Amino acid sequence: MKTIERRVRFWAMLFCSALASWVILLVSCFAPWEQGTLIVSLLLLSCSFIFAVLMWKAYQGLKIARLILENQLLCIRPAVVMKSEGDARSYTQKGGLAVYVSYFGILLGSRIIKFNQDGIRLRAVEIGPDSLLLTYGDGKKTESIRLLRAFLNQNEMKEITEKFRYETGVTPLITD
Amino acid sequence: MTKFPLKTGNLNERVLSVVVFSLLFAWVLAFPFEGQILYALTGVYQIEPHHMVFGAIAAQLGGLFLGGFFIKTIRAAKRFITGAVLFCIALSAVFLLGPSVFWLPALVAGSFLSGGSVAAWGFYFRSGSRKGQRIKTAADGLAYSNILMILLNIIAVYISPELGLIGAMLCLVLALVFLRKLPEDDCTSASPFQVQQGSPVSMAKPLAFLCLFVVIITINSGLMYQVQGPAFSHLKWLTGWYWAIPYIAALMIVRNLPEKTNRSYLLYVAIAMIGFSFIFFWVLDRSAPSYLVVDTLMLGACGIYDLFWWSILGEMLDFERNAAKILGIGLSANVLGVLLGGTIGNAITTAGLSGSDATLLALAVVCVTLVLLPPLHTHLTMLLKTHAFLTVFSALPQQEQNDRMQRVAVFTVLSQREMQVSALLLQGKTYKVIAGELFISENTVKYYVKNIYSKLHIQSRAQLIELVSKQKNAIPRP
């Protein structure tokens, strides 16, 4: 999530810089412009436009990520890798990737898999003893993703099954 | 929830309210609202009437529009109408004393008060007639007031303007007499309905759209007064009485159509009539037969349209506590259209254009309004159907709403959560309210709704409603 936010800020910064540069160029060089100034101006405008598009796309991703986080059905916490240095009793967490599954898609770190949007539907859910298989696609293409997770007891399994059924309309298949 | 004391409604109150309205409105039509009495009086004293007429129409607009903001109960309505009628009698008397500086302010004040009175009458329009019958009440009120207007005009034009004015004042006195018999208590009034209270469904959008529709059509009426009217002024012996006959005839025809008739088709007939009216005005001479053709087409169309929006306003009264507001704002749109049309027509005639140029220009304005009408009408019908559905659906008990939704076959593709959101959409709730009820963010609701529409292959709430309405037994008839 933080990566996505950083991405948005990055493109926003580039966009603002390009636009600001163009404005400064506009203000500092009086008409008529020389050929060189014109080329630089066009370049800056093009860059501004490209950065604006990239910023917009990143922002759309951020919106979806927030949507997934706000409407979680399931959160798969990463295995915690702790490392101690020498005799020190303090541990630092290394690695790990939280996965959030929602009616709107899956958020894996900074990667987003959308469904129930833009014509992509969640087609099937399989809950295994140590994994979750989600199948999604539009009418033409279907993809699957298997998420490994910790063992679930009966009650937890029931709860997740009911949540999926209620929110997405898809009743998960429980496999051994 | 609702009680119907009599299957046919309360006849006495209905008749009384029609009588009061007819008498009051006859005074309005014959005198301040471009009435022949006013023209006759100003003609006798060689006074230019146009600024007075304009002032009166503008004041009438103000009275209609603002009436509902001050008159909020049936008791206040009765008292206001009583006071306004007394005042109008006194103001009319000013015109019997000869020309003076008081004529214009008296006319403006009288127009304003009469406008407010017509708005206030909305309470009796609602309480005196049951839903579905208000078109007949509106037709009766408009027809009788126009008949009285014709009589007053004949007196004013052929006998004496002062006598015509006295006749109009007598109408006001009679209105006062009958007004006393109307109930003033909300409990005792024979209202067969309990008005939706605290309904989440707002009338604002349908009313605003209806007003837009009305303004656009009535521009043609205003144009007619300024362009067609003066062209036949030499036929006063005919125009003084025939003018409103086609209007009354159209009202009676539409009023007496079988209930199952789809009156919407008549609107397109009326559009064609307006168009042909101006075409014939352009190609024919200015003889009496030509006047008969032009006036019959134009005023016949006006009768159809007037009854159309009067009846819609009448049906809307049940969805809003303050009947004066609904009726007043709706009718003010009518007056606004006349004012705009009159302004355009006045501009055309004062620009010194030749007769045929002025007519062509008027025809162009008519064509523009006629092009706008079909999409406006489609949207208006959809809005009203949506609103009627939303109000009925939201009044059902929760369990019954759920049951009805379960019966709709297309909803099987939706998940339970999506069904929940759909049900709240069908209750007319906003995204914000839905978000609050489901404890989710407004943004989430928007995405749910987008997905629901995509699954059902629709694009809007109105189409969702249409989908549900198409399912037999999905929704009760209002």
The pLDDT profile of chain A, 176 residues, written as one tens digit per residue, is 788 888 899 999 999 999 888 888 877 765 566 777 778 888 888 999 999 999 999 999 999 999 998 988 888 876 666 666 665 555 555 556 788 889 899 988 888 888 888 888 888 888 887 788 888 888 788 888 888 877 777 788 888 888 888 888 888 888 76
**Among A46, A36, A47, CA closest to A13:** A47
The tens digit of pLDDT for each residue in B3-30 reads 333 333 455 888 999 999 999 999 999 9
The Cα–Cα gap between B405 and B337 comes to 42
B415, B451, B454 ranked by CB distance to A166: nearest: B415
Indicate the SS3 state at residue B336.
helix
Tell if the CB–CB gap between A71 and B444 is shorter than 8 Å. yes
Which residues of B are less than 8 Å from A170 in CB distance?
A: 415
The tens digit of pLDDT for each residue in B312-330 reads 888 888 778 889 999 999 9
For a pLDDT cut of 70, what percent of chain B falls above it?
A: 84
Which residues of B are less than 8 Å from A116 in CB distance?
A: 451
Mean pLDDT confidence for B452-462: 84
Tokens of B352: 């010194």
**Among B370, B378, B56, B60, CA closest to B219:** B370
Number of alpha carbons in the 13 Å side-chain half-sphere of residue B471? 17
Dihedral of CA atoms B347, B351, B357, B361 in degrees, nearest 10, equals: -30
Tell if the CB–CB gap between B440 and A104 is shorter than 8 Å. no
The nearest CA of chain A is from the CA of B437 a distance in Å of 15
Indicate the SS3 state at residue B33.
coil
Tell if the CB–CB gap between B443 and A67 is shorter than 8 Å. yes
* Contact indicator for B300, B249 with CB cutoff of 8 Å: yes
Which residues of B are less than 8 Å from A69 in CB distance?
A: none
- Per-residue pLDDT at B258: 79
- pLDDT at residue B396 tops 80: no
* Contact indicator for B359, B278 with CB cutoff of 8 Å: yes
- Per-residue pLDDT at B196: 45
- pLDDT at residue B376 tops 80: no
- Per-residue pLDDT at B431: 87
For a pLDDT cut of 90, what percent of chain B falls above it?
A: 33
ω into residue B230 within 30 of 0, thus cis?
A: no
> Highest mean pLDDT range out of A13-27, B76-90, B456-470?
B76-90
In terms of Cβ atoms closer than 10 Å to its own Cβ (0-12, 13-18, 19+), residue B378 is exposed
Residue with tokens 């539907």: A121
The Cα–Cα gap between A155 and B293 comes to 83
The Cα–Cα gap between B246 and B344 comes to 25
Q: Helices in A29-153 by DSSP H: which ranges?
A: 35-70
How would you classify the pairing of strands A173-174 and A121-127? parallel
* Contact indicator for B298, B228 with CB cutoff of 8 Å: yes
Tokens of B241: 């009485």
Mean pLDDT confidence for B137-165: 93
> Highest mean pLDDT range out of A134-148, B127-141, B167-181, B454-468?
B167-181
The Cα–Cα gap between B13 and A166 comes to 54
Q: B138 vs A35, B132, B231, B316, CA distance in Å?
A: 75, 11, 31, 13
The tens digit of pLDDT for each residue in B93-136 reads 999 998 888 899 999 999 999 999 999 999 999 988 877 788 89
Bigger pLDDT: B195 vs B141: B141
Which residues of A are less than 8 Å from B440 in CB distance?
A: 70-71
Instruction: Say whether residue B412 is in contact with chain A using an 8 A CB cutoff.
Output: no
The Cα–Cα gap between B162 and B147 comes to 19
> Which chain A residue lies closest to B438 (C-alpha atoms)?
A71
Tokens of B66: 């603002």
How many other C-beta atoms lie within 10 A of the C-beta of residue A69?
Answer: 15
Q: A55 vs A21, A50, A66, A81, CA distance in Å?
A: 18, 8, 16, 34
Instruction: Say whether residue B474 is in contact with chain A using an 8 A CB cutoff.
Output: no
Record the pTM. 0.65
- Per-residue pLDDT at B2: 35
Residue with tokens 């919106």: A63
Bigger pLDDT: B453 vs B360: B453
Mean pLDDT confidence for B84-88: 95
What's the Rg (C-alpha) of chain B? 24
Instruction: Say whether residue B416 is in contact with chain A using an 8 A CB cutoff.
Output: yes
Tell if the CB–CB gap between B417 and A66 is shorter than 8 Å. no
Strands (E), A63-150: 72-76, 81-84, 91-94, 99-102, 105-108, 111-114, 121-127, 131-137, 142-148
